[in-house]
Structure 1
């Protein structure tokens, strides 16, 4: 592949005014349940429609490296089927990560990181990083997505309540 072909996406993005190459959603919540219980709920994809107002469908084997089908319902009413998602990390009681895309062009990585608290509770860090030359052209309104993640966090907390 020639250098010109490798640089073509950069030239196109620059010509079209796309200068944003990174967007981050960063939310967190304290949940009154141990990390393993929170992880088990997050990893039970088939139950998402019962409680999750944002990720209304996540389907897949739950095996790292395997594809997932993800559908989100944003607070602004937009429903999106997220294409080409792969389970990237599944570390029981600690982290669940999925993502996809083409590095440098358009990529998203969605993370649930769990930290134990001394009182037996869990700190959930729920983040996503979108990166690449074409991020500026995607329909990724950070305030809307942040609200959606916060709603999901609250629904998870409520589901885990004793």
Structure 2
């Protein structure tokens, strides 16, 4: 098993961060790590996700949504081949901060026989998480400033 996680503080309310996170049709314009995500964000539904970790050509996979709690959590399970070979449980969690703002955590837990063989890719994936979180933070904070009186 291997886990990677990146947490970013966003100076915007969770509802606005959620709005940016779930507006997947806009990903191409701002998201350096997941430039494409299509499909219905609903438990049990399959998505089409393209990730581009820094320094790679990227890959496309078809995970299944495993959790969706409005304004709080989005998670999916992706697999390479058969279960137990290389499985990744990916999640985004939004936590309100005391006094305002949001803690955004992007996390993935990898399990399976091939996980050790992908160590370099997982390091690049962690850098991709950080780049996406930062881009999401920037987009949400700009929107937050534009709606404040």
Same-fold status (TM-score > 0.5): yes
- Partner residue of 2:105 out of 125, 132, 156: 125
- Please give the alpha-carbon distance, in whole angstroms, between the structure 1 residues aligned to 2:38 and 2:83: 24
**Which range moved further: 41-50 or 53-62?**
41-50
- The Cα shift of 1:115 comes to 0.6
- The Cα shift of 1:50 comes to 1.4
SS at match of 1:87: strand
- The Cα shift of 1:78 comes to 2.2
Asked if the contact 1:103–1:131 (Cα under 8 Å) also holds between the matched residues in 2, the reply is no
- The Cα shift of 1:77 comes to 3.1
> What is the TM-score when the length of structure 2 is the normalising length?
0.87
| Structure 2, gaps ≥5 residues long | none
What is the match of residue 47 of structure 2? 68
> What is the TM-score when the length of structure 1 is the normalising length?
0.80
Greater Rg over alpha carbons, structure: 1
**Which range moved further: 84-93 or 148-157?**
84-93
- The Cα shift of 1:133 comes to 1.7
What is the match of residue 150 of structure 1? 130
- Please give the alpha-carbon distance, in whole angstroms, between the structure 1 residues aligned to 2:84 and 2:55: 28
Moved over 4 A (4+): none
- Please give the alpha-carbon distance, in whole angstroms, between the structure 2 residues aligned to 1:139 and 1:73: 16
- Please give the alpha-carbon distance, in whole angstroms, between the structure 2 residues aligned to 1:68 and 1:139: 25
More strand by share: 1
| Structure 1, gaps ≥5 residues long | 1-21
- Please give the alpha-carbon distance, in whole angstroms, between the structure 2 residues aligned to 1:53 and 1:98: 19
Q: How many residues align?
A: 140
Aligned-residue Cα RMSD (Å) equals 1.5
- Partner residue of 1:85 out of 55, 63, 66: 63
- Partner residue of 2:76 out of 92, 98, 108: 98
What is the match of residue 36 of structure 2? 57
